[in-house]
Amino acid sequence: MKNVVILGSTGSIGKNTLEVLSNFADRFSVLGLSANTNIRLLEEQIKRFRPKMAVVTDEESFQRFPQNYDTEILWGMDGLKRLASHPEVDLVINALVGSVGLLPSLETVKSGKNLAIANKESLVMAGELLIGKAKEKGREVLPIDSEHSAIQQCLLSGKKEEVGRLILTASGGPFLRKSREELKQITVKEALSHPIWEMGKKITIDSATLMNKGLEVIEAHWLFGIPSDRIEVMIHPQSIIHSMVEFVDGSVIAQMSLPNMKLPIQYALLYPQRVFSNNTSLDLTKTGQLTFLEPDTEKFPCLGLAYKALEMGGTAPAVLNAANEVAVEAFLACGIGFTDIQKIVQKTLKQHQVKLNPQLDDILNADKWARQTAKELCCESEIKR
Ligand code: MG
């Protein structure tokens, strides 16, 4: 029996993870859960899974949360860290959204636990620290992101030195066929309707700008130790191939399935085992055509910015991530336009003085600086509108 903790249990990945876990109740016990403001759902989850501990990160929600359960209720970042490092925990599933996931991720690997990671921001901000610490402790960082789960599965076909390139697929988001002019007028509502995946707001906007794919390139670099010039992105609107690996002999291995997050979640939870699941099986005669095209980096500059940040190295990816979080939030609040997101990220990155081989403090300082800078830039764009 493995004890698991889910950080961010009320989000899209968190809810799917609990469903997968309930299919394997004989193998896993839920020791901890966490939510930010969705305390109504957290209460339901507590009643159903009876965890030992639960964390509410939002202060006001914490104060309103009933304390009449056998479950110990903790508050804030300290609560998340306590949950992640609890001595009885075997596996931490980090499904938090955004940079708030970083410290709990680090706490998990520092305490020698396995980490299943859906919070790509942790790897973008501090991939080197995180993977370095996990290696030192002899622990695994297992991807839950569907593309990285696909790559992890494809990589089993050869040795690391036989890998030619990684090919990350992208659905292309809802605006694949819009012109640059049309992109300027995109509303929040349009940007929030993703054609394939049902996800949280932040990642849905990131998918529409292709920043999500950019963050995934950085994520793949740290997870699999492959340099960025051997990581490519391909648009594949049907999202049946979740990613591919080309080996040096020219053989390309692809992982396919219907788009459903339960599969990568189950793979990470049970890794390296494969176990029967009632996920709908893929019938290629029914999916019809699978198509592929090159990403348009002029129309979607965020993808190029992510490559650039990875090339700049050090604190640059943390700055990219922070500026993007601020810009996405401003867009969701209707403060800036859709195409302002890329401008804010680009300008913030340009103003940043990179610190190479950063320690945690350097990363946190860069994150703070980038947020401040991006906020100021958002205000300027707002005035212009
Ligand atoms: Mg993904």
Give residue 254 CA to ligand 1 midpoint distance, Å. Answer: 15
Give residue 358 CA to ligand 1 midpoint distance, Å. Answer: 26
CATH code at 40?
3.40.50.720
On the question of pLDDT at 382 being above 80, the answer is: no
Query: Quick one: average pLDDT of 191-213?
Result: 88
Give residue 147 CA to ligand 1 midpoint distance, Å. Answer: 5
Give residue 212 CA to ligand 1 midpoint distance, Å. Answer: 7
* Phi, psi (degrees; rounded to nearest 5) at 93: -105, 110
Verify that 43 and 160 share a domain, yes or no.
no
Verify that 183 and 290 share a domain, yes or no.
yes
List Cα–Cα distances, 51 to 4, 156, 383, in angstroms: 10, 35, 48
Tell me the torsion sign for CA atoms 142, 94, 90, 242: negative
Query: Quick one: average pLDDT of 130-140?
Result: 95
| Residues in the chain, total | 385
With cut-offs at 50, 70 and 90, classify the pLDDT of residue 267: very high
Give residue 261 CA to ligand 1 midpoint distance, Å. Answer: 9
Verify that 40 and 117 share a domain, yes or no.
yes
Structural domains counted in the chain: 3
93-129: per-residue pLDDT in tens? 999 999 999 999 999 999 999 999 999 999 999 999 9
Give residue 146 CA to ligand 1 midpoint distance, Å. Answer: 5
Give residue 71 CA to ligand 1 midpoint distance, Å. Answer: 33
On the question of pLDDT at 385 being above 70, the answer is: no
Within a domain: residue 61? yes
Cα(178)–Cα(93) distance, rounded to whole angstroms? Answer: 36
Within a domain: residue 267? no
What per-residue confidence (pLDDT) applies to 214? 98
Within a domain: residue 119? yes
3-state SS string over 61-92?
Answer: HHHHCCCCCCCEEEEHHHHHHHHHCCCCCCEE
Verify that 246 and 371 share a domain, yes or no.
no
- The share of the chain scoring above pLDDT 90, in percent, equals 92
Give this prediction's pTM. 0.95
What per-residue confidence (pLDDT) applies to 69? 80
315-361: per-residue pLDDT in tens? 999 999 999 999 999 999 988 999 999 999 999 999 999 999 999 99
Query: Quick one: average pLDDT of 44-67?
Result: 96
Give residue 59 CA to ligand 1 midpoint distance, Å. Answer: 30
- The share of the chain scoring above pLDDT 70, in percent, equals 99
Q: What share of the chain is helix, strand, coil (3-state, %, to 5)?
A: 50, 15, 35
CB neighbour burial string for 3-35, b if at least 16 within 10 angstroms, e if fewer: bbbbbbbbbbbbbbbbebbebeeeebbbbbbbb
What per-residue confidence (pLDDT) applies to 54? 97
Query: Which residue segment(s) compose the domain that 211 sits in?
Result: 147-259+283-311
Give residue 253 CA to ligand 1 midpoint distance, Å. Answer: 18
Give residue 74 CA to ligand 1 midpoint distance, Å. Answer: 30
Give residue 216 CA to ligand 1 midpoint distance, Å. Answer: 7
Mean pLDDT of the chain: 95
Give residue 97 CA to ligand 1 midpoint distance, Å. Answer: 13
8-52: per-residue pLDDT in tens? 999 999 999 999 999 999 999 999 999 999 999 999 999 999 999
Verify that 21 and 77 share a domain, yes or no.
yes
What per-residue confidence (pLDDT) applies to 198? 73
